[in-house]
Structure 1
Amino acid sequence: MKLERTGVVESAQEASWARFYTGRVDTTQEQPVITVSAVVLRDDQDRVCHVRKVGTQAFMYPGGKPEHGESATETAVREAREELGLQLRVEDLHDWGTFTSVAANEPNTVLRSRVFTVDYQIWQDQDLQPHAEIEELRWIPIDGDDPGLPQGTFLADLATEIRTRMQQSAIGYLTETSRAQLGRAEPIYRPESR
Structure 2
Amino acid sequence: MVKEIRIAAALLICPDGQTLLVRKRGTQAFMQPGGKIDAGEQPFEALVRELQEELNLLIDPSEAVYLGEFSAPAANEPGFTVQAELFQVPIDVPVAPAAEIEEVRWIDPMGDGGLHLAPLTRDLILPFYRKSLATA
Same fold (TM over 0.5): yes
Who is 1:162 aligned against? 125
The equivalent residue for 1:187 is: none
Q: What residue is the counterpart of 2:31 in the other structure?
A: 60
CA distance in 2, matches of 1:145, 1:97: 22
1:51-103 per-position Cα deviation (integer Å, ceiling 9, x unaligned): 00000011001101122321100000111111111112433321001111110
TM-score, normalised relative to structure 1: 0.65
Deviation at 1:157, TM superposition (A): 1.4
Q: 1:91-146: per-residue Cα shift (whole Å, max 9, x none)?
A: 3321001111110000011110000011x3xx31x221000000000111111231
Report the identity percentage: 39
Which residue is equivalent to 1:127? Answer: 94
How many angstroms does 1:158 deviate by? 1.4
Which amino acid in the other structure matches residue 85 of structure 2?
R
Matched, 1:116 2:87: yes
Q: Which runs of 5+ in 2 are unaligned?
A: none
Tell me the secondary structure at the aligned position of residue 50 of structure 1.
strand
Does residue 1:85 correspond to 2:63, yes or no? no
- Structure whose residues are more often helix by fraction: 2
Q: Which has the larger radius of gyration?
A: 1
Between the aligned partners of 2:65 and 2:113, the Cα distance in structure 1 is: 26
Distance 2:50 2:105 in 1: 17
- Paired residue type of 1:167: R
Q: Which has the higher contact order (CA 8 A, sep 6+)?
A: 2
How does the TM-score come out when normalised to structure 2? 0.91
2:73 alignment counterpart: 102
